[in-house]
Every structure is written in structure tokens, then in C-alpha cells.
Structure 1
Amino acid sequence: MRVGCPKEIKNHEYRVGLTPESVRELVVSGHEVWIETGAGEGIGATDMDYQTCGAVIQPDAKTVFDNCEMIVKVKEPQAVERAMLREGQILYTYLHLAPDPEQTRELVESGVTAIAYETVTGPNGQLPLLKPMSQVAGRMSIQAGATALEKAHGGRGVLLGGVPGVLPGRVMVIGGGVVGFNAAQMAVGLGADVTILDRDPEVLEKLGIHFESRAKTRFSNRANIEQMLCEAELVIGAVLIPGAAAPKLVTREMLKCMKPGAVLVDVAIDQGGCFETSKPTTHADPTYVVDDVVHYCVANMPGAVARTSTYALNNVTLPHALRIAELGWKEAMRRNEHLAAGLNVHAGRVTYEAVADELGYDHLPVSQAIS
């Protein structure tokens, strides 16, 4: 199979779909890999690095899109990229379709077969292709929040760890999954006063055992969220419903009790955000203020640490890419139900139920798409 990897064009997105090492694995397996020139610059990989590993360097994205059977990316295709997709082509990348009706419509119209990293499953309902980026985003959320709390950046002027004689900042983490756990780890490491909220008693028990007295846990309900919002300097939104839009757990009305200069970091913004006042921002202009509360809602946070993120992502995406290239997407999905869960759009139909329900499409079951 001819596999193509264009340069990412989303604002301040420095990751790349394939590392030179991943290219080598594909080439050794008998496949041809086309890389757009400069695609790896953000991770310090030159065109020569890719050529040494067997890639064919192409001058522009159009050449890659027009001539490759499978396109491997990181972020959802932007409008100009969606216009280059075609029927029968495979798109393998993050999509986050539920909060993005325009992208969904254009993918449906293109006839492309779109496989979303974020809905590929693993044992016990895990999301292994989302996990490494969730780990990165969770850890970065505390760095970003700590910076936004600085007075020069519009924040309250609070040092999360405090100093002797001065109380540390209070951090509220909504959601105890991968993002929330990693955010809590970073905040605890800084010496902050950390509370994690979740609705799953088993998750709360595991968090309690892991953090012991270094972080508190509370059941996530409206009353506890409202109380904690009034006390917190930094709030991390770390809630995920696989493939579906994130629930709005913090309303604008709730912001009224928050301290002026407090910070909200919405890691769920890719799925529409879990704060009512959230809207996507970029690394170029990451924050805005609503009712004296600073909002950080960058939709591609891991792109800022592109090298770490790209290598972590390739570790989990490459095995499926190899299977798809070797067997074709249908046979690969027949043999692997976890990969089949990643199919979101095929031949003009929406194949992921949560996306179909959210955006009003008729749902085509994956079993029918691959039969």
C-alpha cells in the first residue's frame, strides 16, 4: 500500500503522523511511504532523515493526498485538506467529530473511509490511541494553568505550591480518568491542594489508594462541583465520553462564585468542552476571560511538546497502520474488533453511533460496513 503523511497545518501544530522510525517499519514491511517536505520539522526530523528510512519526499500536500491510498495524520483534516480527500481513500487520524458538524458533513460527502484514533478501543474498554495524548494533555494542563494564574497573564497571582507560611493554590480536577489522574499527579508534585471529582466509586477508590493523603477525592455531583468552584484557583476539565460531545458540567451561572482571576483549563475542548463558556483557542492566543475567570481552551495542547507527543502517539498508532496497510481496512477490522471501533465514517455514512446520534445522521453499523 502507498501510505501518505502530509505536514500538519492546524495553528501551532508541530506533531507529525509518522516518525522516520515508523516509516522504516512500513517500508521494511513492503509498503511505499510518501512524506510531504518539511512534515517532520516540528519534531526535529529532516527530509533526509525520512529518506534514509525509505520515504519518498513530495513537494506538497496535494501530491500526497492525490496519490496515496491511506493518509496518516495527527489532527483532524482542515477544510483545505478535506477538499482533497476522495472516495475509497483511508484517513487515519484524530477526528473528534461529535462537536464538529462541518467536518463530519464534508467527510461524509467525500466518501472517504475515516478511522479515528480516539475511538479505537483496547481491553476493558480502554482507549489506547487516545491515552498517550491524554497523559500529555493532563500533565500540560497544570503547566498551562499555573502560567495562566500568573498576574501578568491575567490570573489571580497564585503560586500553586505556595511557600512556607502561605497556603498553596487549590486545584480542582473534574474527572478521574487518564487526563485527570495525570493532572493530579503534576499538581500534587508542585505541592498544590488537590481535589479530584468523579462519579465512579471504583475510580475514586483507586485514586484514594494511589494518592493517599496527597490529594482528596469527592463524588462528582452538582452540589460538590459548585462548592469546589467557589474555593478553587485552578479547575481542570478532564471529562470524556468516547466519541460523543462532552457534558457541560460547569455553567456560566456557576462562574459567579469563582474568585476573580481563577483559571479554567478545558482539556475536553476537542469534544466540545465541559464548561458552558468554553470555546476552542490556539497556542497563539490561548486564553480569554469570561466573568473575571480566565479560560484556557487550546484544542491541540500536546502539539506544544511535539517531539514527546509524536513518539508517544506513534508507539500506539503504528501497529494498526501496519495491519491496515497489510490487510486492507476491512480485513484488518474483521480480525480486530478494537480497530473496528475506530471506524467513524465510510462511503458517505456515519458508522460511529455516538456521532450519528449527536449530529442527526442515520447510523450504519460497522459490521455492515465491513461485510
Structure 2
Amino acid sequence: MPSMNMIQALNSALDAKMAEDPNVLSFGEDAGYFGGVFRVTDQLQQKYGLTRSFDAPIAEGGIAAAGIGMAVYGLRPVIEMQFADYIYPAYDQIVSEAAKIRYRSGGEFTVPITIRSPYGGGIFGGQTHSQSPESLFTHIAGLKVVIPSNPYDAKGLLIASIEDDDPVVFFEPKRLYNGPFDGWHDRPVSPWAGHPLADVPEGRYAEPLGKARLMREGADVTLLAYGTMVWVSLAAAEHAGVDAEVIDLRTLVPLDIDAIVESVKKTGRCVIVHEAPRTSGFGAELSALVQEHCFHHLEAPIERVTGWDTPYPHAFEWEYFPGPKRVAEAIKRAMEG
């Protein structure tokens, strides 16, 4: 079983599906010949040809519209939005068309499109290459939202997304693309270290959408996280001096509410961690759900550790991130509550 970083695992997923299913194709800005700015689609055009892996104009609305049309026609396109920050011109197509067609047609048409996009900070990308817009899509009925935290899940979840008959927005934490980082000290030695992070099987395998992963078992407090913040939460759990349980949500829609409820009922405390701004972030939905399902089991108020309610602050990038020290402080408050 080869060791892969997340870029290699995602590329392996696309390769496996394109080899297996001639209806699967990949396109986007620089996603054809060049293989994508992060190299996720590297060598796919050379292997599968210009009609199945190709470049698109710098027109995200057109990329989404073309992909939606292909999906309704019966193909399974995987489109790349070069950065999550660039997805906004395509928002109307995704929200008004992709998310609605199955319902609007009474089930006559499906939209099996996967919309890949690197998201989040950590590569010194500034305000327009570092945003985390996941909550804008979790609010839209008809869309599924997936965010992996490691290469093994990245491949399995991407394959499951491609095979799903509904539109999936697949956010890829680019801070994790090239390998691990020192979670406790926040900043990696190099964001482009390129070290492998996990053993990933070759060929096809799928991880189910809507199932969380228990990353660390504990009895004192539950930490809910996804993407990069899973590793920050694990680092905080190791240093907080309490028996913390860490759950990687993996998919935000559909959400594994059963896993969340089971954990919080056991621990009686909950800390929610995400990189996006606090106000109206996905943590607010998680907090409401925990309150609704676990009210009589809670021993302390629910804590949220998030990014700031500001535009992405390039000059203060590492202060903006919810680091393990901030998470550990939230764990302490929860334990004292």
C-alpha cells in the first residue's frame, strides 16, 4: 500500500474513477495540461485525452454551468474551482440550478456533479486565496458538502462524491495538501514539505458520505472539527490534560448527528472548532443541534473556537487560525463550567 499525501490521494481517486467509468471527466482553470495549480489533476489529460481532462476559461459561472449541463445529460463531471475564493461567480449556478434540478424535475433528472476546490488558509495566500466558505453551501438544500482531513479519507470521500447522484461541493484543506504539520506549534516547518501522511490503497474504494470518524476516544469532553482543525484539535487534546474525544465530521451535509449525540451524551461537554469566521459559521448549526439533542446531558456551555469575524487577515494569518492553545483554553472553560 503506497504512502500518499493528500494531493496524490485525490489524484489517485480521479485516476481510479476515470479508468473505471468513461462518463467521469475533469476540467477547470489550468486543470488540464498543467494538472492544476496544486497538481491534483496532474497527468490526467496525458492519460485520458483532451475530451476527458481539459482546461476552461477563467469564468467560474461558465465552468459550473457547463458541468451542470453535462451532469444532467448523464456524465459525471468533476470540476475544479481553482480556489474556494473563486467560487462566488459560480454561486448562482450551484445554488439555483445544481441544487434544485432533481426536485424541480420531480426526480426525472439528477445532477451528479462534484465541485472540487482548495479552501482555507495556511499557504500565505492572502485574502483572496484563503477563505473558508463552507457554511454558504451547507445552508442550501440539495447540496452535499464534504471536507476531508487526511489522504485516506480524501480519496475515499472523493470517489463516493463522484458516484453520488446529487451535487457535491468538495472542499480540500490546502494546508494539508502536502503533508503533516506540527499541530501544537501551529506553523509547519514548511507548508510545502511534501511528506507522505497516510497509507492509501491503490484502485477504487469509497468512504460513505454522512459518517463521521472517531479520531481519539475520550470521556471528559467532545471536540467536533473537520479539515485542518481536526489535527489542531488532536494536538490540543494531547496537551489539555483531560480525556478529550475528537470527532472528524468529514461530511457537513449529510451530517452524522448520531455520532455527535452519542459522544456528547457520554462526555457532557462539547467544544466546536472551525477555521471560518464565527458568526453564522457551521459551528453555530452544530451548537444548536447539540443543544437540541443533548440539553439534559450537558454539564457546561458549548464552546466555539473559530476564525475572527474579519476579512481574512493576511498579516495576522497565524493568529487568526484557531490554534491548539486557543482550543485548550476552550477545553479548560468547558471543564470548569
Q: Please tell me the TM-score bracket, short chain as reference.
A: 0.3 to 0.5
Q: Which has the larger radius of gyration?
A: 1
Q: TM-score, normalised by structure 2?
A: 0.36
Q: TM-score, normalised by structure 1?
A: 0.33
